[in-house]
Amino acid sequence: MPDIQTLLFITILVVSLISFIREWFPIEVTSLLVLAALLVTGLVDKNQAIQGFANKATITIAAMFILSHAFTKTGFIKAFTIWLEKNGRGRNWLVMLLFLFAVSIFSAFLNNTATVAILIPVAGELANRMNISASKIMIPLSFAAIVGGTCTIIGTSTNLIVNDLAVDAGFQIGVFELSKLGILLMVITLFYVLVAQRYLLPSRVPVSGLTKKYHMGTYLTEVRLTADSPIVGRNFLDAKLGQKYEMTILEIIRESSHITTNLRNIILKENDILMVKCSVDNLKQFRTEQKALLLTDIKMNDTELSDKENILVEAMVSHNSSLSGSSLMDVDFRRRYGLFVLAIRHYREILNRKIGHIVLKPFDTLLIFGSRTRMAALYTDPNFIMLNELNFNLHKIKFRWLAIAIIPIVVGLASFNVMSIMEASLLGAILMMATGIVPAQEAYKAINWSVIFLIAALIPLGAAMETIGLAEKIAGAIYSVGDSLGNYGLIAIIFLVTMIMTSFLSHTATAIIMTPLAIESSTVLGLHPMPFIMTIMFAASLSFMTPNGYQTNTMVFSPGGYRYTDYLKAGLPLQIILWITGSALIPVIWPF
């Protein structure tokens, strides 16, 4: 019969897992609530409760966020991938292979979320050049980044956490130890996605442009005001056109000038051309009552919406955006940025009516129209990830050579045991700030604090498991499974369970929960812990069959126009292939 402490721990764990999956709270809030529950119930003491914030993995991950940001500021990744594309010599399969290979290599040494954020617009441009739908390239981009992260210790936060737990247990893992299997898994994945791109991935995003992608053709058009129009001599606000017709005015074309600012207060004149967003029914009513002429019955496209002064772009709400949790009206988007949001895409749902009241979430994509000058400010705004930025020139930043060299230096110092990974990455991050490459405030914004709080708050779970002896009890159950299935079968089961958990739960949380169990199981069985540690390290990262299992999968969901089932179709076969490969080779590479 379980004692009261065990029951309390299991209750906290189950409720937290449900909260993670159901998204009752932001992920970092759930993890902090778990920490509070462990502290209040006495499952951890005050010192154990704060140990996650001083943990070496937590500090290393924060430092790597800063280093990755410094590297990406140089524009080197974009320039290099475009160079690879040019060397593909027009052969789509070769262009795709070179691009995905580059993605994997960058993800092995940089934060893969940052890598994908940088390369989403590059992938979109490649899709246009190859005349294929963006949905043919976005999932491969995410999959390549995920598997690339399994090649080195610093490739993912998961690897760093598992490594830290392994070091605490007395087992040191080298920077390139994972490469023994990770490179093979990368090769398998890259060739798999080339096949999946052709036979499994749909063409969901129209090749012809953003207006069709967001189903905007019905809502965008131009009207000309006649001499006898009742609204000539009045402004848009006084005429209450927005309220009466649910109409948004995007631009006023008056003779040769394009007016894009203070539109609601501009006095309208005869022959003014108004670019408006309006439903068909309301547009018909407006035309009749206000004596306006429709310039065309053809729906407006991207080319018509873009000119020397204005542009139509797509932007994603970043994972740490201050806009998340607020509506466009709450942040006064139009006044704050001087731009118009025409539509919002959240997962499968495209919203293009009454969007001012919609609460924004991380990785929602916005269709934005406005002046090129004002739009340029969004490219440096940390609240957004711009999805169609086509300027691939290297950015002029101070000490660019140092920003490019710092990651190889950190890896080299850690590989040759000159310093630990934590020491090397922390000193590198401090150097980036000291030289002004990444100013202190910018460094703060570069860190994904959701990940940091998640890790720091959940690390005490391991201490709680030790306090109540739960790891030993579960290890005893695993022992009986291993007795009947054999050691290889046991590795396969642990690999599969971890993969499934990662598909529906945070991969970081999965690693924190499963690693102590794996190490304890090896002790109970009298086997070397390394194959068990490596099983968790790989399985906790290899999440392909759901859009929410890994952050990069979530990021490409909207740009690719995917459905949930697209991940299952493309990801499940790959997950099975890598599960079988990993389960068979881990005990061979790292013997029991």
Do 56 and 167 sit in the same domain of this protein? Answer: yes
Q: Let me know: does 33 contact 458? Beta carbons within 8 Å.
A: no
Question: How high is the pLDDT of residue 574?
Answer: 94
Question: How high is the pLDDT of residue 394?
Answer: 42
Q: Let me know: does 223 contact 174? Beta carbons within 8 Å.
A: no
Do 189 and 232 sit in the same domain of this protein? Answer: no
3-state helix vs strand vs coil in the chain, percent to 5 = 60, 10, 30
Mark out the alpha helices in 325-384 (DSSP H runs): 328-331, 333-337, 372-376
Do 567 and 468 sit in the same domain of this protein? Answer: yes
Spans in the chain with pLDDT lower than 50: 1, 297-300, 390-395
> How far is residue 210 CA from its own chain's centroid?
21
Do 219 and 202 sit in the same domain of this protein? Answer: no
Give per-residue burial for 334-372: e unless 16+ CB within 10 Å, then b: beebbbbbbbbbbbeebebeebeebebbbbbbbbbbbbe
Of 297, 287, 300, the residue nearest 367 (C-alpha): 300
Do 20 and 117 sit in the same domain of this protein? Answer: yes
Domain assignment of residue 438, yes or no: yes
3-class secondary structure per residue, 63-105: HHHHHHHHHHHCCHHHHHHHHHHHCCCCCHHHHHHHHHHHHHH
**Residues making up the chain, counted from first to last:** 592
Do 135 and 188 sit in the same domain of this protein? Answer: yes
Question: How high is the pLDDT of residue 93?
Answer: 81
Domain assignment of residue 168, yes or no: yes
Question: How high is the pLDDT of residue 530?
Answer: 92
DSSP letter for 579, please. Answer: H
Question: Cα separation of 562 and 203, whole Å?
Answer: 9
Question: Residue 51: which H helix or E strand, with range?
Answer: none
Do 129 and 238 sit in the same domain of this protein? Answer: no
Encoded amino acid at 148, one letter: G
Which residues span the domain enclosing 294? 210-300
Do 48 and 182 sit in the same domain of this protein? Answer: yes
Q: Is the dihedral of CA 65, 67, 73, 79 positive or negative?
A: negative
Number of domains in the chain: 2
At 52, phi and psi to the nearest 5?
A: -65, -30
Question: How high is the pLDDT of residue 392?
Answer: 42
Mark which of 246, 266, 300 sits at the end of a domain: 300
317-375 pLDDT, tens digit each: 887 788 888 888 888 887 888 887 878 887 667 776 667 778 888 888 888 887 777 88
In terms of C-beta density within 10 A (0-12 exposed, 13-18 middle, 19 or more buried), how is residue 232 classed?
A: middle
Domain assignment of residue 324, yes or no: no
Domain assignment of residue 191, yes or no: yes
Do 244 and 160 sit in the same domain of this protein? Answer: no
Mark which of 279, 300, 321 sits at the end of a domain: 300
Q: Let me know: does 562 contact 161? Beta carbons within 8 Å.
A: no
Question: Considering the entire predicted model, what is its pTM?
Answer: 0.74
Domain assignment of residue 187, yes or no: yes
Domain assignment of residue 335, yes or no: no
Of 6, 13, 109, 47, the residue nearest 424 (C-alpha): 109
**Contacting residues for 419 by C-beta, under 8 A, at least 6 apart:** 413, 427
In terms of C-beta density within 10 A (0-12 exposed, 13-18 middle, 19 or more buried), how is residue 482 classed?
A: buried
Q: Let me know: does 272 contact 254? Beta carbons within 8 Å.
A: yes
Mark which of 258, 284, 300 sits at the end of a domain: 300
Q: How many CB atoms lie within 10 A of CB 175?
A: 23
Question: Cα separation of 152 and 156, whole Å?
Answer: 8
Do 124 and 251 sit in the same domain of this protein? Answer: no
- CATH code of the domain covering residue 222: 3.30.70.1450
190-232 pLDDT, tens digit each: 999 999 888 888 877 655 556 556 655 556 777 888 888 888 8
Do 240 and 147 sit in the same domain of this protein? Answer: no
Do 90 and 141 sit in the same domain of this protein? Answer: yes
Mark out the alpha helices in 416-506 (DSSP H runs): 421-434, 440-446, 449-458, 460-468, 470-504
Question: Residue 546: which H helix or E strand, with range?
Answer: none
Question: How high is the pLDDT of residue 548?
Answer: 73
Domain assignment of residue 331, yes or no: no
Q: How many helices (H) and strands (E) does the chain have?
A: 27, 10
Of 575, 589, 591, the residue nearest 496 (C-alpha): 575
Domain assignment of residue 249, yes or no: yes
Classified as helix, coil or strand, 485 is helix
Q: Let me know: does 140 contact 196? Beta carbons within 8 Å.
A: yes
